[in-house]
Structure 1
Amino acid sequence: MSNQPPYPPQQPGWGNGQQPYGQPPFQPQPPKKRSVGKIVGLGCLGVIGLFVVIVIAVAAIGGGGSSNDSSGSGDSKSAAPAGESSDKAAADPKKNDTMKDATDGKVVFKVWGTAPAGALGGLDIGYGSDSDTRKGTFEDGKFEATLTLDKKALYFNVHAQLQGSGDINCSVTADGKTKKGHASGGYNICTAQLSSNFTGGWS
């Protein structure tokens, strides 16, 4: 028998599960785990922070707007003379109330101006509503008539036709509203009409 071993000698550190000499053992690092709780927490804090910023901004803008409005209203009050504003406020409603009281429940028809008689006679005047038409007479440069206000009427009107020459105006007033017309020369017709707006008013 020979003195040689049956197998070649193995290098130390090889083939027996050990790392070669001079190299440290390496172990794979485990994957990093993300903390779901931290991510959710940071997201909630971000949303709450954004909400707080919006609330503060809105409060600041609202506070500034209210202070500007109050100062503006103070300036407008001080800028307008007290006597003048109060006089205007008192005068306008009074004027409107007086006009409405004078025609409350009535319709007033008027024609005025210059209207010489022609070959066919004097000024031809007609007035009334859609259901009641009447004739008027022009005397001393004017005509005026009054009828009871009928809420069911569709319209009230007045018309006056010149007889060759002249210059006239006409108007109809109901419930504080007035419409006017004008005609001049020849056989032109002056017409004024108030129509129902189907809500109890006239236009």
Structure 2
Amino acid sequence: MSQQHPQHDPHQPGRGGPQSPGGFPPPPKRKVGRFIGLGCAGIIGLFLLLAVAIAITGTGGGDDESGSSADPTPAASSPKGERPAAAGDPSDATKSEARTGKPKEKKVVTFKVWGTAPAGTLGPLDITYGSDSDTRKGTFANGSFEATLPLDGDAMYYNVTAQLQGSGDINCSVTVDGHTEKAHASGGYNICNAQANAGILGGWD
């Protein structure tokens, strides 16, 4: 008996999977996504390598510049045998005054008269003050008088005098370099006289 073999329809799917209309298998699919991904990764890696190379080059240059820009001049040291001046050293204050050009504070002599001194027939209270080489006139107002003069190292004395004009009670004083001399007068035409004299060995008394 002859056996009949079934005929396969080329249009029907078989064990080999779908075929093209011409009977040939379909061409394999290209993995486009994988190649695109690998291309992007390569470009990113290239940029990272360039950035690392630039950073290394810049760091090396900075080290050279910092080394070359250091000041080779050694720090100035004080001469042998001399100590640095302390912050409160008087010589520093003197040098500072010389730099700023400000003159030293000058000492002054202070003259004072205070109390009750009514004006008389000859006028108000008569006040004179000064030194052996400089005498001035003062005015008593509102129960007091005060004046100052620069201290002269050559002066032999400083004094203040105040004479009453018939009545009253007054005090007077002169202060020279921290030393004060005082006097008092009361009634009539009495005179209040305070005087500070230059000492033989310096100072005032």
Query: TM-score of the superposition, structure 1-length normalised?
Result: 0.49
Greater per-residue helix proportion: 1
Query: TM-score of the superposition, structure 2-length normalised?
Result: 0.48
